[in-house]
Structure 1
Amino acid sequence: MTRSAIPFTPVKRRAFLGGLAGTAAAIGLTACGVSESNDDDKKGDKGGEGGGKQGTRSVRTDNGTIEAPAHPQRVIACENWDTLMLLDLGIVPVGIPDGIANPAALPADVYQKLRRVKTIGVAGTPNAQAIGALKPDLIVDQFYKDKTAPLKTIAPVAYFNWSDSGALWYEQLDKVADAVNRRDALTDAKSEYRRRLKEVKDAYAAQISKTTWAPLSGGQNGAFFLGSPLLTVMRDLGLRIGAKIAKDEAGFVQKSYEELEILDDCDVLLYPQLFDGKAPALTQQLLDNKVWKGVRAVRAGHAFPIRHYTVGSYRWANGAVDEIEKILRKL
């Protein structure tokens, strides 16, 4: 069947500032198959028999206070965002949703970490039997309260509402870091991100001050989407955002091809690219359209693909900084 390469769950509220408001459907990420996991390979099952024997600690969640292992070793990620956040914290989950381990949709190093991890069903439909077989000591969820609450009979469930909380991606990541007791790892990730931001801002101050940018992606039936979670990184770099994108906007705002003129104030445009070098199908339709080819930034050769288009972890944010730096060098 056809399934999104990384079927990210949509998050409500436009002030999901640079978080993960978009879905793969909005970007047009599609791929066949569900997972690269191998049921005969145990490499994804890391960490022994769990952290419960090392003591517990109280963790405040949006579902009440739970008793979680002091140092969780076998963590289940119920959503793909959970998976990428746990990797930021140095944890390879023992169970992940179907479909995330796709080489076209992930950086090579991330794919290698996830390719043999066991899957637990489609995001939003966790398979309790599959989860139980992995003997987890903690289950992390940010979207499916009703679906994951019964899993507490298997292991503590750390639920942090992201669907309609309006929280930013890094605020959610702070909560996950606390749940797995990895705040030190998060401090290191934040420091590296801030270091890279300063480095790029200092080196390319002239280009940054003189240009206006916007991210966009293809949509269905002659539509495109303005905005992306990438906006957080763009704003952190001090880039001026055009195309009438609101200051608190980071999700995808649907427009028609007839409205492409809204991009006329932009010097640089960014659009998504898969890690196999191809544009998602719907974005490719946009790129092939003659109206797109008449946009000012496109005519100037200043429309660029970017692979870290959806940002929900510091690994992803740093990847976006690296890609934007390469673009700044060309301006």
Structure 2
Amino acid sequence: MTRSHVLSGQVERRRFLGGLTGAAAALGLSACGVGESGSEGPDGGPTAPSGAATRSLDTDNGTVRVPEKPERVVVLENYDALMLLDLGLVPVGVPDGAANAQLLPPDVYAQLKDVDTIGASGTPNSQAIAALKPDLIIDQFYKEKSAPLKTIAPVAYFDWHTSGSLWHQQIAKVAKAVNRESQLAERKKEYERRLSEVRTAYSKQISTTTWAPLSGGPNGKFFLGTPLVTVMRDVGLRIGAGLPEKEAGFVARSYEEMDVLKDCDALIYSVQYDGKATPTTQQLLDHKLWKGVPAVKAGRAFPSKHFVMANYTFAIGAVDEIEAMLKQL
């Protein structure tokens, strides 16, 4: 996959998860209040409260001293918030739009809807963050914007923007940062149990079909691939449409290239959690070329609410959806 495909995919997946604010323009970090949190340690970061236990944490921005078990965590992206929820920790600060009933299960929305916000994704408001008195700040996308925030609290930066890491690799880093790896292991075990159940019950359907996930894009394009493809592969589904192995997407195609889907027996397309397709995906579903795709004509194009992966809860939800699709084959 070319670099341009990867970069467009990073923006698209943040936009999809964050609704209208997920891909907010990267504006300059306000200088006001960045250093208004008290004394600084020798590395330019804040000193820990007297007697507080700390530990060293390796991040993609160097080694950082963090609390033994952080409890007041601010996140700079919606993905980070969903990862923390999987670990049993509700953040004290989230980006604008993180609580979006259209894109989240009701129980997840309920946990985030009253959490204080700290500015749009990519534009953290340092004064709002400082007011929350966090003991840790987590960032996976905005290295230059989060670095100055170390005067407020330790910043754990794990590069997801350019690293090519998959969601399960990133959540493992976040779990280590907040010292909740045992909670992660429990969620992972539940995910693996569901995978085993579905692989056993639907081995024939899995072994005899080819699949592809896709979503609508702008200007007469659609995107092949999504982090959902990692779950599809874990189930054992064969991925077609020319998607590269071991990559999640997004690969941009024009409507005129829709014949790339001809090798697929079944397709999965994205919908929001309210069941409605985004406008660009609805345009795809309404297009005459889409309606002529063999899998579509056969009634084997299925909607998925778990099109973007951020944690094992979403992954388990995707397995449940895939099981329901396999029942219809």
| C-alpha contact 1:26 1:225 (8 A) present in aligned 2 | no
Gaps in structure 2 of 5+ consecutive residues? 23-47
Q: 1:317 aligns with which of 315, 318, 322?
A: 315
Deviation at 1:31, TM superposition (A): 4.9
**Paired AA for residue 239 in structure 1:** L
Which residues in structure 2 correspond to 1:21-40 (within 5 Å)? 21=10, 23-24=12-13, 30-31=19-20
1:93 to 91, 107, 110: 91
Following superposition, the deviation at residue 100 of structure 1 comes to 1.4
Q: Distance in 2 between matches of 1:255 and 1:140?
A: 34
Report the number of matched residues.
301
Measured after TM superposition, the shift of residue 25 of structure 1 is 7.3
SS of alignment partner, residue 57 of structure 1:
strand
The range that moved more, 60-69 or 192-201, is 60-69
Is 1:258–2:256 an aligned residue pair?
yes
TM, length-normalised to structure 1: 0.86
Superposed counterparts of 1:219-234, under 5 Å: 219-234=217-232
Task: Find the counterpart in structure 2 of residue 3 from structure 1.
Answer: none
2:69 aligned residue (59, 68, 71): 71
Alignment-derived partner of residue 31 in structure 2: none
* Residues 1-331 of structure 1: pairs in structure 2 closer than 5 A: 21=10, 23-24=12-13, 30-31=19-20, 54-331=52-329
Please report how far the alpha carbon of residue 21 of structure 1 lies from its aligned counterpart in structure 2 after TM superposition: 4.2
Looking at structure 2, the residues matched to 266 and 27 of structure 1 have their Cα atoms a distance apart, in angstroms, of 24
SS in 2 for 1:252: strand
| 1:172 Cα deviation from its structure 2 partner | 1.4
**Highest RCO, 1 vs 2 (Cα 8 Å, sep ≥ 6):** 1
- The answer to which of 271-280 and 241-250 deviates more is 241-250
Q: Report the Cα distance in structure 2 between the residues aligned to 1:259 and 1:217, rounded to whole angstroms.
A: 14
**5+ long unaligned stretches in structure 1:** 1-11, 34-50
Distance 1:13 1:306, change over 3 A: same
Report the Cα distance in structure 2 between the residues aligned to 1:210 and 1:181, rounded to whole angstroms.
Answer: 42
* CA 1:177–1:113: 2 relative to 1, 3 Å: same
1:279-322 per-position Cα deviation (integer Å, ceiling 9, x unaligned):
11100011111111111001100001000001121111111101
- In structure 1, what is the Cα distance between the partners aligned to 2:68 and 2:4? 34
Question: Alpha-carbon deviation of 1:75?
Answer: 0.3
RMSD: 2.3
Q: CA deviation at 1:176?
A: 0.9
Q: Secondary structure at the match of 1:206?
A: helix
Q: Percent identity?
A: 59
SS of aligned partner of 1:202 = helix
Counterpart Cα distance in 2 of 1:56 and 1:86: 20
